[in-house]
Amino acid sequence: MAGNLSFDELKSAAKSGDIDTVLVCCVDMQGRLMGKRFHVQNFIDSSHEETHCCNYMLATDLEMATPDGYATTSWRAGYGDYVMKPDLTTMRRVPWLEATAMVLCDLLDHKTHKPVPQSPREMLKIQIARLKELGYEAMMATELEFFLFEQSYRELAQSGYRELTPISAYNEDYHILQTTKEEAIMRPVRNHLFAAGIPVENSKGEAEAGQEELNIRYAEALDCADHHTIAKHAVKEITWAHGRSATFLPKWHPNKVGSSSHVHMSLWQGKTPAFRDENGEYGMSELMRHFMAGLIEYASDYTWFLAPYVNSYKRFMKGTFAPTRTVWSVDNRTAGFRLCGEGSKAVRVECRIGGSDMNPYLAQAALLAAGIKGIEDKLELAPPTGGDVYENTEARHIPSTLRASTETLRNSKMLREAMGDAVVDHYVRCAEWEQEEFDKAVTDWEIARGFERV
Ligand code: ADP
């Protein structure tokens, strides 16, 4: 069981007054938890079967605006409903909120009760099923990096986000002294998540003032995405409860390192690591070589799923540990893909392209689709790259803007085959809208640069 609370345990907890509220959540395109707060009795009596939400749930932007251009829903179609179907295996306690439990839902068509293909959870399930057909399961881990600030969300919003003071004054990479000062937030983050059935490994200071990393033990791909989404949500809620703020923006300051979400991947057959071959180069199996070749070949196709906003592309800068080129290396942090656990049972590939703003369901679905294509076509893996990959001018670049990654997504034959045209077109529209909104903005930079001088 992925969660840690069975339906029977929920009933007992309701009877004893231990739990009075159930958060019934789905995941939107941006990777956020959206849904309703149910009285536990109503959830037990009926809503555990299903509830409903407006079908704009998968067609809004971060501001909940309702752009046109989606085939799934529109003003013209009257914005009908989706069914939210609780996946009771994901039910868990939410220890950082009083007397509260949570369940994740799948989104189903209101009339047919078939899964909505554009739903991030469904998109990942489809790639997991394709992998299963080939005889493998994916184990994944997604690292969470973020910044903590001294001020609350409200204070920062009221200052127009001009007075952002990171919670520490200096680079706190691996710093025990500085992170001790942040334990008021990070200790409850680790312990509450662990008590919610999320296998937290550790947190650590990261390579910038106020930057944190949270690591969760690798798990089956769907569980991994669920863990990531709940953990990100918990970090925000726990930080908010302490009168502070956290951001998962990949780049909040031009001169400071960005935040990423690296994705670790390995394929397994039951308990046997299918990426391992004792006699293979670096202990890698043929299967792993094909999977990695697929990841590298199609990196531009799926970059948007790892970097979905204008801001995401501000992170890809030379000398910042954020990769810009589609090559692999052996334990070298300047390449887009890094071989980890070389020669061991934990041999795996880490994709370093993803930003802290990625939706983990979409990211993992896209990465698996590319890896599967590599396996199906038996793609050959080029030799690893060494040295400073930023200086390697022969290696291919990933798209460097949202505009460019929207086009590589639109033109991806691989993703259209793996996910279907309706799904790719849906997310292309999402990407276009974000760019359209940005194009309308007049930024501080333009004003400061040109006000007097033009
Ligand atoms: P790093 O050097 O990147 O900090 P870690 O040893 O902390 O490496 O591992 C990073 C992540 O990789 C952890 O979340 C861990 O659970 C995950 N991981 C370990 N083994 C595997 C595996 N076989 N497949 C996928 N992920 C794994």
Which tens digits make up the pLDDT trace of 111-142? 999 999 999 999 999 999 999 999 999 999 99
Q: What's the CA-to-centroid distance between 140 and ligand 1, angstroms?
A: 8
The two tokens of residue 214 are: 């949270």
Q: What's the confidence (pLDDT) of residue 112?
A: 96
Q: What is the residue with the minimal CA distance to atom 24 of ligand 1?
A: 266
| 3-state SS assignment for residue 406 | helix
pLDDT reading at 445 higher than 60: yes
Where do runs of H (alpha helix) occur along 135-262?
153-158, 176-180, 183-195, 221-241
Phi, psi of 62 (to 5 degrees): -60, -30
DSSP 373-389: HHHHTTPPPPPPP-S-G
pLDDT reading at 154 higher than 70: yes
Ligand 1 pocket: which residues have CB below 6 Å? Answer: 139-141, 201, 215-218, 264-266, 346, 348
Place of tokens 């680790």: 190
How much is the average pLDDT of 26-40?
98
Q: Percentage of the chain surpassing pLDDT 90?
A: 90
pLDDT reading at 332 higher than 80: no
The two tokens of residue 348 are: 């795996």
Rounded distance, CA 285 to CA 219, Å?
A: 21
pLDDT one-digit tens code per residue, 61-94? 999 999 999 999 988 888 899 999 999 999 999 9
Q: What is the residue with the minimal CA distance to atom 22 of ligand 1?
A: 346
Q: What is the residue with the minimal CA distance to atom 7 of ligand 1?
A: 215
β-strands 33-39, 51-54 pairing: unpaired
pLDDT reading at 375 higher than 60: yes
Q: What's the confidence (pLDDT) of residue 390?
A: 63
Rounded distance, CA 83 to CA 109, Å?
A: 6
Q: What's the confidence (pLDDT) of residue 391?
A: 67
Identify the H or E element spanning 290: helix 286-297
Q: What's the confidence (pLDDT) of residue 392?
A: 67
Q: What's the CA-to-centroid distance between 73 and ligand 1, angstroms?
A: 40
Q: Percentage of the chain surpassing pLDDT 70?
A: 97
Q: Ligand 1, closest atom to CA 265?
A: 25
Q: What is the pTM of this model?
A: 0.97
DSSP 10-62: HHHHHHTTS--EEEEEEE-TTS-EEEEEEEHHHIIIIITT-EEEEGGGGS--T
Q: What's the CA-to-centroid distance between 218 and ligand 1, angstroms?
A: 7
Q: Exposure string (b/e) for 186-222, b if CB count within 10 Å is 16 or more? A: bebbbebbebbbbebeebbbbebbbbbbbbbebbebb
Rounded distance, CA 2 to CA 272, Å?
A: 21
CB of 325 within 8 A of CB of 295?
no
Q: What's the confidence (pLDDT) of residue 334?
A: 78
How much is the average pLDDT of 210-237?
98
Q: What's the confidence (pLDDT) of residue 320?
A: 66
Q: What's the CA-to-centroid distance between 220 and ligand 1, angstroms?
A: 13
How much is the average pLDDT of 273-294?
97
Tell me which of 193, 220, 334, 340 to substitute to probe ligand 1's pocket, judged by most ligand atoms within 8 Å of the beta carbon: 340
CB of 41 within 8 A of CB of 47?
no
pLDDT reading at 206 higher than 80: yes
Q: What's the confidence (pLDDT) of residue 16?
A: 98
Q: What is the mean pLDDT of the chain?
A: 95
Q: What's the CA-to-centroid distance between 102 and ligand 1, angstroms?
A: 27
Q: What's the confidence (pLDDT) of residue 393?
A: 66
Kindly provide the ipTM of the predicted complex, given to two decimals.
Answer: 0.91
